[in-house]
Amino acid sequence: MEQWVNSIWYGRSFIAVLLRPLAWLYALVVGARRQAYALGLLTVTKLPTPVVVVGNLTVGGTGKTPLVVWLVTQLAAAGRRPGVISRGYGRRNAAPLLVDMDSSAAQSGDEPLLIRRRTGRPVAVGRERAVAGRLLGTQGVDVIVADDGLQHLALARECELVLIDGARGFGNGQMLPAGPLREGAGRLRSVDAVIMVDGSSERSLAGRPVFHMQLVAEYVVPLAGPRDARLALASLAGERVHAVAGIGNPDRFFRTLRAAGLEVIAHAFPDHHVYSAADLAFDDELPILMTEKDAVKCTAFASSRTGYVPVSAAFSDAEASALLALVTAKVSASTR
């Protein structure tokens, strides 16, 4: 189903034309909702701690989680005390929660747990981001990074960063359900910066500065071993492996492994898939590689041949400094 939908959104399909009336209706609803917040008809909550939103305009994966990890790490290195809020998609419990290092993905959601373990910084999850933000306030944070919060207009923000998949762009350019857009491309004019992921070298888009992010995978971590154990991904060049990905854009993970010289047997699952041991029961002894987001849900039944490939965000030194300076300036201005 997911592959079929993507063929409509990112290809040339007459079905997209048939769905355009629904897309127009969706666009009207999105516009009316935004206007209602702008006019004060719907309540916007401003937290005492400045908020930086990381989001995208399209459905599916664009690299938000690696960017959140990078940004939180950079802010902490600069002397800030960052924390992260997220909806925690797929959680069993709707109550807001502070994520522990040993939380389960069922309790916290897969991405918040990944972020907590990678950064070591406080992470709070909750359907209402403002409630999660207040929960973070008990942890002494001085800046909040909202993971995937661009369309959550009920929460005020000081800075907005929007990611664009450089390979897929906006697909057919249509709004849901005819295309992949949650909001029209004109929304870019109101954000603070655009992050182009593995894409073009343009410097400005819709009048906004563009930064260029690469997703880098360098090593494999055995899932059944210690978290600090690792093996160079390049050392597996030429080997056949099962590649498992239940993320927004599984093909990106498969391409990453192939680019490292691995022979990939691809197994794509829906985004946020809840795994069972049967999903990894392949009739051979080949290595099994998965994304870090998938790995946090598979620890209990991982075998010795299972590992995950962490993906990190990378910028040129100049762009990394400029992006951090932009965010820091926005955060500092809000606290004067």
Where do the structural domains in the chain lie, given as residue ranges?
2-214+316-334, 218-310
The pLDDT tens digits of the residues spanning 238-266 come to 999 999 999 988 999 999 999 999 999 99
Start-to-end C-alpha separation, the chain: 50
Residue-level pLDDT at 227: 66
Residue-level pLDDT at 94: 78
- The residue type found at 289 is L
Candidates 298, 2, 13; CA nearest to 171 is 13
Candidates 142, 144, 148, 135; CA nearest to 97 is 135
Q: Which fold has domain 2-214+316-334?
A: Rossmann fold (3.40.50)
- Residue with the two structure tokens 């360098």: 218
Residue-level pLDDT at 6: 82
Candidates 148, 160, 252, 249; CA nearest to 206 is 160
Residue-level pLDDT at 167: 86
Residues 6+ apart with CB under 8 A from 87: 109, 125, 126, 127, 129, 148, 152
Rounded CA gap, 259 and 257, in Å?
Answer: 5
268: helix, strand or coil: strand
Digitized pLDDT (tens) for each residue of the chain, 336 residues in all: 777 888 899 888 889 999 999 999 999 999 999 999 999 999 999 999 999 999 999 998 889 999 999 999 999 999 999 999 999 887 877 789 999 998 888 889 999 999 999 999 999 999 899 999 999 989 999 999 999 989 999 999 999 999 999 888 999 999 999 999 999 999 999 999 999 998 777 888 889 999 999 999 999 999 887 767 789 999 999 999 999 999 988 999 999 999 999 999 999 998 889 999 999 999 999 999 999 999 999 988 888 899 999 999 999 999 999 999 999 999 998 776
Residue-level pLDDT at 77: 97
Residue-level pLDDT at 201: 75
Residue-level pLDDT at 20: 95
